[in-house]
Structure 1
Amino acid sequence: MPDDTAFDLIFRQASLAGHDRPVDIGVRRGRFSAIAPVITSDAPEIVIGGRAVLPGFVDTHVHLDKACLLGRCGHLHGGLKEAIAAVSTMKRDFTVADVHARGAQVLERAIGKGTTQMRSHVEVDPRIGLRSFEALKALKRDYAWAIDLSLCVFPQEGLTNDPGTEELLIQALRDGADALGGCPYTDTDPNEQIARLFTLATRFDVDLDFHLDFDLDASWMHLDEVCRQTVVHGFGGRVAIGHVTKLSALPPDAFAQAADRLAEAGVAVTVLPSTDVYLMGRAATHDVPRGLTPAHRLLAHGVTCSVATNNVLNPFTPFGDASLLRMANFYANVAQVGPEGFGACIDLVTTLPARLMNLRDYGIAIGNPADLIVLDAPTAGEALAGLAEPVMGFKSGRQSFSRPVAELYRPAEAMAAPGRLAVAGGSGGS
């Protein structure tokens, strides 16, 4: 049992995965420095009281640049092409300040819901130029105290068919973009787009993250070409594909073959439940398909997977609160995952997306940055099932948010404390 007064902070009685009983967690200079049944120290302490502690949620696929657009356009469209067209029109008028303000709304919600790592895709093309990228670079700096933001620039409306886009992508990569994305299904020459993006990724030594195979026609896919290029360029473990809703339409044998191909190439998959379920199957008049790729089945084949947010309050997804716990719960509902799979669903928003993003120092382990969140439940699985809110979070040992647990005012208590109801109504209760 550590006996050390050199800690800056002690978390007491934390329920931590891999430990049979609650443990104490010591923090020194912004990093985890001890994990033990009991730490003897006179350092400041926070009593967790047996609640579940996680290293924070990891959101691998968000679009901060086009979030919170409801009200700016009529929502009469319902399909993917219509959503892309609606945003294409609007983004011509986006300013750096506008993108920053809307992105900040989502970032603050995500922080308060327990996200400590995020990859945001950023559209770059002649219509928006680098304005959204500049705004997100500022957000990355402004919110570094609570969240690590990685920026993935990509051509939403095509590359080979959109002159000037490749030059803008190169400029963004030179100016610090962390990753490079793609969207082959909007390009007139999808395979050429894939090839060019692999060439750029190799040149700038950045990971790749594609929007891919986003419909339910399983008769053709771009998945094979991405896997092939991944092997050719030796990029295994550095490529992710998002949506891939075609996989949900494959029969078992074909699904298993595709899963094995992904695992062998080292290509990860991100499932985006809210958008995928909202946009897919709209042509059906009955027995509407879910359009949700079963990530838990891909895991059984050795494919690294994540579940992520994608869009918030825009034509692609007209709802959202940036809560990855809610998204994991939604995934479990739609994919019909029972209690035996709740732990895997938590992995899909924590350790697995950290692996997808190649985060080398993620997790509650000695020496890693002291990033953690506390859930209002004794285990992460119970938090998933009951949507138990995160009640506090820390980034590098510094508290980043808190959320008081709801307090109920029973009739006897209200009578014993006249005026208390009014105070609670004004403050939300605390």
Structure 2
Amino acid sequence: MSIDLSCIRLNGETVSLTLRDGRIAAITPTQGPATAVAMPLPVDPHVHLDKTFTISRCSDIKPGLFGAIEACHADADHWTEDDLHSRASKGLAEAYDNGLSALRSHVDWVQPEPPLAWSVLNQLAGDWQGKLSLQLAALVPLDLLSDEESGRRIARRVAADGGVLGCFAYCNEDLDAKLEKVFRLAEHHGLPLDFHVDEGLSIDACGFDTIVALTAKYAMSGRVLCGHACSLSIRPEEDVARVMEAAARAGTALTVLPTTNLYLQDMQQGRSPRLRGLAPMQELRNAGVNVVLGADNVADPFYPRGCYDAIDTLRLACLASHLDPADWVGAISSNAARAMGLASRELTVGAPADFLLIGGTDWGDALRNPRAARRVIRAGQTHSTEKDAA
């Protein structure tokens, strides 16, 4: 199928793209309105393939984050090898069809020994190699990971499998000391870190501050990614300003998860939420923090809807946080790739012709309509069916 690349909006300009041998041969400024916007194939730094597509068998879920955790733990009795493989494969296929080129999936790890999901997803990572890059991050309770013997066992296995070390931290006792043990494990094994931190609306939830300080102490700039940090939305502004500046200096990145945070935070039966729990994205980025976006949960107790589509995530984030979409494309592409330790995803002359085209004169027009025509281009060839414009 031929692709019209004569009037494409790229990096704020209308250009004509020339492709040759699977690469971008030329980018030429041109006149006239654009017919589509272009961006590098997106990446998602924060999903949960082990939990995905379980909502249909979960009932009587209690409101809020800890209700979702309880429901997910109960459903884990169904997590056989076939079940995990089937559900995760469905998620990976959806992500690929929507143009994603890389994912980082967190994997619940609640005992010292590796969970079955870790093995299944490692197998799938190999199966998808060359099509979709899949990183795995161990999601371990902080109290377990900071235990001396358990922490060593877990970190050794994560390092052996080329994974990412991570944990869930929220107002734990001796939080600072336990988090420092995690950083020591990462330093010893040469592992990047990814935290679920401060995923709640307690004004006392300040784990993000400790992680930022430890990132600086252990010189791990660019190798520490946090997710959520919901409490930054309600903490005193002077405290938030201080930690934002410290995070920028330390090189600690933050993933904002609009679907799950909007769904779970301030959730009470029969009452509309007042507090939405989204970290202050604009202020964080203005301070110099690398702020990226993730889909988080898809069709599970943490978020019963959703999809593996970075464009859908960007659309929601722009609505929820009053963002200009053209300024935030990097949060689902180049900046997100950097937070994951991946190579640059910029569209430049000589770069691989791997990109997404969405019908529209500019990014505002392209995101206006969820059914806007879309094409996924890999190595210069269309790899998915064009969506019909409404």
TM-score, structure 2 as length reference = 0.89
Partner of 1:277: 262
Task: Name the CA shift for 1:205/1:157 in 2 (closer, same or farther; >3 Å).
Answer: closer
Q: Pick from 200, 206, 216: which aligns with 1:215?
A: 200
Q: Does 1:34 align with 2:25?
A: yes
Stretch moving more, 115-124 or 363-372: 363-372
The letter of the residue matching 1:391 is R
Alpha-carbon shift at residue 92 of structure 1 (Å)? 4.2
Alpha-carbon shift at residue 156 of structure 1 (Å)? 4.3
The letter of the residue matching 2:292 is S
Partner of 1:205: 190
Partner of 1:329: 315
Task: Name the CA shift for 1:115/1:216 in 2 (closer, same or farther; >3 Å).
Answer: same
Q: Pick from 169, 190, 193: which aligns with 2:178?
A: 193
- 1:319 & 1:281 partners in 2: Cα distance? 18
Q: Pick from 18, 33, 39: which aligns with 1:25?
A: 18
- Greater radius of gyration (CA): 1
Partner of 1:102: 87
Alpha-carbon shift at residue 242 of structure 1 (Å)? 0.4
Uncovered stretches (5+) of structure 1, i.e. residues with no partner:
1-8, 39-48, 408-430
**Equivalent pair of 1:145/1:400 in contact (CA under 8 Å):** no
Task: Name the CA shift for 1:177/1:93 in 2 (closer, same or farther; >3 Å).
Answer: farther
Q: What do the CA deviations read for 1:135-160 (whole angstroms, capped 9, x no partner)?
A: 11122222234322111122047425
Partner of 2:240: 255
**Equivalent pair of 2:144/2:151 in contact (CA under 8 Å):** yes
Stretch moving more, 351-360 or 361-370: 361-370
- 2:368 & 2:340 partners in 1: Cα distance? 26
Alpha-carbon shift at residue 162 of structure 1 (Å)? 7.4
Structure with greater contact order relative to length (CA < 8 Å, sep ≥ 6): 2
Q: Pick from 267, 273, 276: which aligns with 2:252?
A: 267
Task: Name the CA shift for 1:86/1:167 in 2 (closer, same or farther; >3 Å).
Answer: farther
Uncovered stretches (5+) of structure 2, i.e. residues with no partner:
none
Stretch moving more, 212-221 or 169-178: 169-178
Alpha-carbon shift at residue 392 of structure 1 (Å)? 2.1
Aligned residues: 384
**Equivalent pair of 2:356/2:375 in contact (CA under 8 Å):** yes
- 1:237 & 1:206 partners in 2: Cα distance? 12
Partner of 1:44: none
Q: What do the CA deviations read for 1:49-107 (whole angstroms, capped 9, x no partner)?
A: 83222111121100011111112221431121122122223224412221121111112
Alpha-carbon shift at residue 187 of structure 1 (Å)? 5.2
Alpha-carbon shift at residue 386 of structure 1 (Å)? 2.7
Alpha-carbon shift at residue 402 of structure 1 (Å)? 2.1
- 1:27 & 1:361 partners in 2: Cα distance? 20
Q: Does 1:111 align with 2:96?
A: yes
Partner of 1:131: 116
Alpha-carbon shift at residue 212 of structure 1 (Å)? 0.4
**Equivalent pair of 2:61/2:68 in contact (CA under 8 Å):** no
Alpha-carbon shift at residue 379 of structure 1 (Å)? 2.7
**Equivalent pair of 1:114/1:373 in contact (CA under 8 Å):** yes
Partner of 1:310: 296
Q: Does 1:241 align with 2:226?
A: yes
Alpha-carbon shift at residue 230 of structure 1 (Å)? 0.7
Partner of 2:361: 378
TM-score, structure 1 as length reference = 0.81
Quote the sequence identity (%). Answer: 26
Q: Does 1:394 align with 2:377?
A: yes
**Equivalent pair of 1:104/1:139 in contact (CA under 8 Å):** yes
The letter of the residue matching 1:326 is D
The letter of the residue matching 1:329 is R
- 1:309 & 1:231 partners in 2: Cα distance? 28
**Equivalent pair of 1:155/1:182 in contact (CA under 8 Å):** yes
- 1:367 & 1:313 partners in 2: Cα distance? 39
